[in-house]
Chain A
Amino acid sequence: MKRNLLIGGSFVVLLVALAVAQSAVQRVAAAQAQNGVMAPRFEVDPTFPKPLPNGWYQGQTIGLWVDAQDHVWIVHRPDVLDAAEGASSQTPPTGECCSIAPPILEFDQAGNLLRHWGGKDGPGYQWPDSNHGLNIDSRGNIWIGGNGAMDGHVLKFTLDGTFVMQVGKKGVTRDSLAQDHFFQVAKTFFYGPTNEVFVADGYGNRRVAVIDAESGKMKRFWGAYGKPPDDKAALAQGAYDPTVTYQHFRGPVHCADVSNDGLVYVCDRTSNRLQIFKTDGTFVKEVYIARDSRGDGAVWDVAFSRDKEQKYLYVADGRNQKLRIFDRQSMEELTNFGKGGHYPGEWYSLHNIATDSKGNLYTVETYQGRRLQRFIYKGLVPVKAKQQGVVWPGTR
């Protein structure tokens, strides 16, 4: 009897304990749902853009921006088409397809090709040997860089392709202290409040340079940690070691984008890090991303979410083929999506990213990727997976 009571009592205790535990689990789950981490959700749109007209073939695509009308502009490298891809532009033609598309291409929101131009020298300017980077300022001018062996300049055009200004020139060599030229510029970024252009300079040089957007005059420049650049020391850093904190940009300095609150996000691509500065070059902090990455590095480009606070920072990881979403305040990675490959929502080498006014995201791929893709913004959703893989529509 006593024993039975004991057993019965144990059951009661056990049941109560289970009930308490269960309700605790439920409470935790509820709390997680309420305070759960939210992040932007994207879905790939394989209908964008439409195939190019005229039998044109797109080359390595190494620059991207969205203008004030939400038209999407890209710059690619027509000269990288091999003899099989560019069969109809061989002499004599060896096949029906394809021919070389002009390097600057504009698409509307329906994915139609609109304006297309560029590729040749003109009065007062030298077209880059190797196109690289595209940005549009608030006055509707296009800025491009170049990372060819001779390229030491950035170019400014109207959206129609009328030449406005060249800063720097071709035929220079590495000099991260130069006032009048760059060396192998990766990307430019127009910053409205100060009417300045931030130059990711670049593949050859190892600095961020800031010029006046009207005169092109050099205003200031800096290296890693906001110190003066030192090319000799930067080049002496040797092969990448993930345990070393490099005191100089290993480069390429591949992006230098400025947030609305005046922070400059600099991609030090093969150091697998973002360095963040004030617009005067004061170092704020650095964040490593996939620090064990080698080869061409994990930090290729950044873009800001389109809310006023720019709460989220998008980072293009062209080594692991991931679009990484960071909380910009904490610089914690919330989630990532994408995968290597050639299908919709996959990338070969994710090179640049940009957003439109609706928050949609665009990506371009270099090397053998050679595409522009659109990812539709679906709002903020609770983060369910750190690695989402290919983001197909939820209905699929």
Chain B
Amino acid sequence: MPVPRRVVCCWVLVLSGVLAVQYDAATQGSNTGPRYQVDPWWPRPFTNQSWVLGSVTGVTVDAQNHIWVVHRGVDSLETNEKGMMLTPPSATLCCQAAPSVLEFDQKGVLVSNWGGPGQGYAWPQSPGSLAVDAKGNVWITAAGLEAPPTTPARGRGDAVVGEAPATAPGRGRGGPPPGPADAHVLKFSRDGKFLLQIGAPGKMDGPDSQTTLNRPSAVAFDAAANEVFVADSGNRRIVVFDADKGLYKRHWFAYGEKAAGAAPAAYAPNDPPAKSFRDVTCIDISRDGLVYVCDRSSNRIQVFRKDGTFVKEGIVSKNTLGATVTGQFGVVSSHGSAWDLAFSSDAQQRYVFVANGHDKKVHILQRDTLAPVGTFGSGGRYPGQFLAVGSIAVDAQGNVYAGEQHHGKRVQKFVTR
């Protein structure tokens, strides 16, 4: 007996209604935490009128309260955005990639810039996040490029009839990235002098390696112990090195396990929590000595002691899934709700800010319970809105800086209101 159309229609309505309710609850939450609004006048426009930002992968604030940004540069620019870098150029005034590493002061003035290939180290295929240690050195991870998707991408360009289709030079649509894959962490002085490389591109000896990494995404520091903690995403682990020489100290996996577990299946909201990390995209150490880690597409934060002892985990947004999209500049992954985190600036670091790139907003959690107390931001291209918000940092006054990947290509400042 065929199912009457009306019944089908109502079931669809009921199902979508459930989802809507879930999402409403998640969105509104109990907005009891601090409230933020965008400062659209930060940063100041580049003095060089031809510079543009690429996909922003990292933002951090140093001890001088300066804001540091790393972005993917020309590799993440579409043909339309890099007219001056084409052969022949398609434009004289716009645009070209700004240097990869940018330092802004509190007013949003660009005060230094550097980055790119150099002697003695391999610049990442795609940088991950960056962090400035207590000595003022700048660390950048080589987080690597996404693998091509198995399903075709949607979308359509405003192609000009009679013009050749736009392709990024040196890299086809979703083709394999050139050169050895990212597997290292780089340390520079604050003026860009190369100091140390941990791991080596293309060299991945597995999750128990003491010398190699696999698409590390973030670093954090324990200044007293002179240690650097690495979110070694491809190896699904946290690994600790001496911060001067890069010598191995210890590592651990999800839940503080000492043995690498199997790679989890794709995230499903009602499955039990995965025993291993899916993709560890952030690491930060609180003043009270706890290590916070984002397991991005598992939608969770795990908390450890510095020795790797598991403390607790918290879910950011249980129902968030993800999408993989092929753009002109390659494959971009938009999965999960826990892309990066930062602590509030008060002495107790009462709150944690979590960049949720797939849902296009920032969550505010209470740090002791990891309970949600609010969100800010929404999806879009206007000031205060986000596309793939994937990096976040807080300055000494409590202002929040959020960087966008993919086509977002901004770092925006949010102030309390």
Contacts and interface: CB of A to CB of B under 8 A. Distances in A.
Interface of A: 46-47, 49, 51-52, 55, 57-58, 60, 62, 77, 79-85, 87-88, 90, 92-98, 130, 147, 184, 203-204, 235, 250-252, 269-270, 290, 292-298, 319-322, 339-346, 348-349, 351, 366-371, 387, 389-390, 392, 396
Interface in B154-170: 154-158, 160-163, 166
Given A82-B155, A87-B323, A95-B320, A390 B45 contact: yes
Interface in B70-107: 78-81, 83, 86, 88-95
Interface residues of B, number: 69
13 contacts: A80-B155, A82-B325, A84-B334, A85-B387, A88-B23, A96-B360, A252-B161, A294-B88, A295-B86, A346-B45, A367-B78, A370-B380, A392-B41
B93 A387 contact: yes
B154 to A, nearest CB: 6
Contact of B379 (A97, A346, A368): A97
Nearest to B320: A95
Given A95-B321, A251-B161, A84 B94 contact: no
Given A82-B327, A349-B80, 15 more contacts: A51-B382, A58-B380, A84-B332, A95-B321, A147-B158, A251-B161, A251-B162, A293-B83, A295-B90, A296-B90, A320-B83, A343-B43, A343-B45, A368-B78, A371-B381
B408 interface: yes
Contacts of B325: 82-84
B135 to A, nearest CB: 32
Contacts of B320: 94-96
Contact of B81 (A95, A344, A348): A348
Contacts of B162: 235, 250-251, 270
B160 A95 contact: no
A290 B383 contact: no
A371 B90 CA distance: 23
A387 B50 CA distance: 11
A56 to B, nearest CB: 8
Nearest to B96: A340
B27 interface: yes
Nearest to B333: A84
A295 B80 contact: yes
B80 A367 contact: yes
A270 B160 contact: yes
B362 to A, nearest CB: 13
A98 B155 contact: no
Contacts of B378: 51, 55, 97-98
A130 B156 contact: yes
Contact of A296 (B160, B321, B322, B410): B160
**3 A-B pairs with least C-beta separation:** A83-B323, A84-B334, A295-B90
A349 B388 contact: no
A368 B406 CA distance: 10
Given A319-B83, A341-B53, A80 B156 contact: yes
A224 to B, nearest CB: 15
Contacts of B160: 203, 251-252, 269-270, 295-297
Most buried by B among A83, A97, A297, A389: A97
A88 to B, nearest CB: 7
